Amino acid sequence: MILRIILYETNQIKTKMAAPMKTISCHLKLRRTALNLISRHRYFSTTNRKEKGLVLGVYEGEDETLLTNAAEKFDNKVDKKLTNGLQLVKKKLKKGKSRTFYGLDGEFSTVTAVCIGKKGIGYNELEGLDEGRDQIRSAVASAVRQLRDIGETEVEVDPCGDAEASAEGSVLSLHSYDELKSEDKRKPQVKVKCYTQFSQDRDKTSDLWTRGVYLAEGQLFASKLMEMPANKLTPTIFSQIVSERLSNTKKVSVTVRDTEWIKSQKMESFLCVAKGSDEPPVFLEMEYKGTNSSNSPVALVGKGVTFDSGGISIKPSASMDMMRADMGGAACVAGSLLAVARLNLPIYIKAFIPLCENMPSGNAVKPGDVVTARNGKTIQVDNTDAEGRLILADALCYADTFNPTAVLDMATLTGAIDVALGSAVTGVFSNSNIMWELLQKAGSRTGDRVWRMPLLQHYSKQVTESQLADVNNIGKYARSGGACTAAAFLKEFVTAKQWMHLDIAGVMMNQDEVPYLSKGMSGRPTRTVVEFLKLLSEQS
């Protein structure tokens, strides 16, 4: 491990020194330091390896080494070996950086000390973020991955003052969708649990950790569905996977509706998209009723296009494979319901997911066609690649028949929202200040933030001034304010006084923007939606 520390320090120095002679001199100095450390500190031994690691938190400080409560108690247990090890290298740990030690304790083969930032950091009003919670997620994620990469199969994690955030960072960071790869190409499985040996209230800490795990696993369920190839996740297969997973909670009932039922509901807007594919459409209806919940439900609606080619208005081939995740809204609804059920939230939810593919064929809807939605409004389809709003229109109309107290829909609806906001936040359109404020609060806690967009009559006019029908699916000015006109279109099919539309296209995928998420389909903003539902239930 001495060599590991020296390697980290050397890499940092090499990036800062241009002169080769200075680098060589530094290498020699570090080598002499390493030899001295090895002779003086036997606890770096790698003998009796148990493949069990421990993550401990360290606060960023100018002079002294500041440890979390768990780290301090552990340090006392091992006769200050952790503190001594951290002080061997003069440069203090900065936020997100870590050092790994071997042989400090008989129970753990490795101990990684990770800097979680400055102590006492809280809500940043300008960022709209609880930075303290988010820096715990990021730091813990980095440390857990590091221990996985050196071969640990079991890791215990310091709650770092917020066991829920610590659990989220731990579980989310280890996700990898590699089940379709050969076994030798898959990342090793690692079990993570909370390090509660020195917790003053173990039950409370464990409960918070479990809540964080449930939130993370809800998001990862959504992420997995989004990542699955379209030939492995047709509308029928999606409904089977979600039905099985949610039914296993014993708290969610799932009803799968077929094509004949969809026709009986006069969902022509939904069917016009589905008819271009050989895969039959499915309408998924789910119900969760928590204890002490109200009689009126909250409606969740998710766009479920399992593959979007664009239809006759076909997309460019570049990156079309990403359109396997165009059912991200549906996936997030399913992930949210999974977490809600496991958390036993006292809320009544009805969820609706229209599922289909959008494909070109002789049967496909054509630009200029006019269809009739469930509520009787006619729609001029000028662009078949604006299909998400067409299937959502009928789903929103159907949800309205249950007299919901609030309606929340999620959809990877427009590329325009990605252009406007990027991956930092989810774009939100709402006719309710109450709902918006709760969602914003939820996003600040989960670290998965939201941003309110305009829902103005200006945009409504653009979609209602249609040449052939009541509304046009892209509006008068196709390229201007695309996310706003899409939301305005959906508004034409909503009667609820509390409605919120989440355009999640910009947060669909994670490259490296969120450090505690793996690269790939993100499952965002599932945790924020669950936190929103929790806050909403507390107001009832």
CB count, 10 Å around CB of 423?
17
Give the H/E segment covering residue 5. Answer: helix 2-16
Question: Is the bond leading into 20 cis (omega within 30 degrees of zero)?
Answer: no
Query: What residues have CB less than 8 Å from 305, skipping those under 6 apart?
Result: 273, 323, 326, 327, 355, 356, 357, 358, 387, 388, 391
Tokens of 1: 């491990």
Which of 217, 166, 342 shows the shortest CA–CA distance to 155? 166
Of 181, 157, 182, 185, nearest in space to 170 by CA: 157
Q: Is 14 exposed, middle or buried (0-12, 13-18, 19+ CB in 10 A)?
A: middle
Strands laid side by side in the 471-472 sheet: 369-372, 378-381, 471-472
Residues 6+ apart with CB under 8 A from 64: none
Q: What is the number of alpha carbons within 13 Å of residue 303 lying toward its C-beta?
A: 34
Q: Where do we find the tokens 């895969």?
A: 279
DSSP string, 110-124: EEEEEE--STT--EE
Given the residues 224, 389, 524, 534, the one annotated as active site: 389
The CA–CA distances, whole Å, from 138 to 11, 116, 487 equal: 22, 8, 33
Give the separation between CA 324 and CA 302, rounded to whole angstroms.
15
Catalytic residue at 315? yes
Strand 369-372 and strand 378-381: the pairing is antiparallel
Beta bridge mates, 289: 348
- What would the two tokens of residue 505 be? 């296209």
Answer whether 68's CB lies under 8 Å from 59's CB: yes
* DSSP strands (E only) in 259-391: 282-289, 298-302, 304-308, 348-358, 369-372, 378-381
Annotated catalytic residue: which of 315, 377, 441, 452? 315
Handedness of CA 530, 533, 539, 540 (dihedral sign): negative
The answer to whether 272 touches 371, Cβ cutoff 8 Å, is yes
Q: Report d(CA 371, CA 89) in Å as an integer.
A: 70
d(CA 216, CA 218): 5
User: In sequence order, which residues have a C-beta less than 8 Å from that of residue 200 and are 6 or more positions away?
Assistant: none
Q: Rounded to the nearest 5°, which phi and psi values hold at 28?
A: -65, -40
What are the residue numbers of the active site?
Answer: 315, 389
